[in-house]
Amino acid sequence: MAKNNERLIEYLKAVCELENKKYEISAVIDIAEGRSEPEKPRGFDMLNVIDSFHGIYSADEEHSSAAYIVGYFIVCFIITFAADSILHLELSHIGMVIAALLLYAAFGVLLFLAYLLAEVINTHRARKNYKAMLINAAAARAELDVPLLKAQRDSIANTLEMYYNLNIIDKNYRGRINVNAMHGYFLTKRVDKLSGKSGAYSFLDFEKRQGRLNDAPETFGLRKKLTAQYITEAAEFNKRYLDMHESFRGL
């Protein structure tokens, strides 16, 4: 069983790689033909940061905002009680509540400052990446043989179809977003099979109902300069997965 699961994970990884590469090349073709541009990153927005920070306490199917707030306050109160006992502060009951509230507020401020710093760093990194992608997009238009790149994309799509034709994944659960999500479930050991009540299909259906699946529309290929070598690498990529296709038969 364990060996079969390892092979299933390898199969899902292969399908993910093929789906992602096909998606990437399609996006690069759109840019090379001038139909799209790298997405401009969102600028730093304090209101958005505050809204996102508030999301830490947002309700989900297991916890409510009130539960988070009360839980953190109880932790702060316990810390205050322990400090009072160890340091012999002899605080009154009201004093302990006030001290716990101050500790809670200090913890919230520090958490927000850390979150704010992370957002500033991420915004700077996104702008830097965007500038690099604009340069690489210009290089793609100048140097890539688009008809040849389209042929490589179609070859990868055909290889991907050969993997799907092994009928390991149900037709209703195929596609880039679905297989990437299921591959993640197996890697994090949330599931150990595809079908069944506790299988990947069931978990995927649940996440779809919750609206949790991430489309992740990122043009991976524009992270580096695109030259004719990119097409050669795509051909080598396709050959590698084409050669291993038959090894998954009967899984």
The pLDDT, as a whole number, for residue 17 is: 94
Q: What is the pLDDT of residues 216-229, one digit of tens each?
A: 545 555 556 677 78
Q: For the chain, what percent of residues have pLDDT higher than 90?
A: 33
Where on the phi/psi map is residue 58: left (φ > 0), alpha (ψ -120 to 50), or beta? beta
- Name the nearest CA neighbour of 186 among 7, 4, 9: 9
**Does residue 63 carry a pLDDT above 50?**
no
Is pTM beyond 0.85? Reply is no
Q: What is the pLDDT of residues 170-204, one digit of tens each?
A: 999 999 999 999 999 999 999 999 999 889 999 99
pLDDT recorded at residue 98: 83
Q: What is the mean pLDDT of residues 132-142?
A: 73
Reported as a pLDDT band with limits 50, 70 and 90, residue 128 is confident
For 16, 30, 190, the CA distances from 171, given in Å and listed in that order, are 15, 28, 22
Check if the beta carbon of residue 31 is closer than 8 Å to that of residue 137. yes
| 112 pLDDT more than 80 | no
State the average pLDDT for the chain: 80
Q: Output the CA torsion sign for 238, 6, 174, 161.
A: positive
* Residue 250: pLDDT band with limits 50, 70, 90: confident
Q: Is residue 127 over pLDDT 50?
A: yes
Instruction: Sketch the domain layout of the chain as residue ranges.
Output: 2-248
Q: What confidence score (pLDDT) does residue 65 get?
A: 55
The stretch 160-178 carries a mean pLDDT of 95
Mean pLDDT over 60-77 rounds to: 62
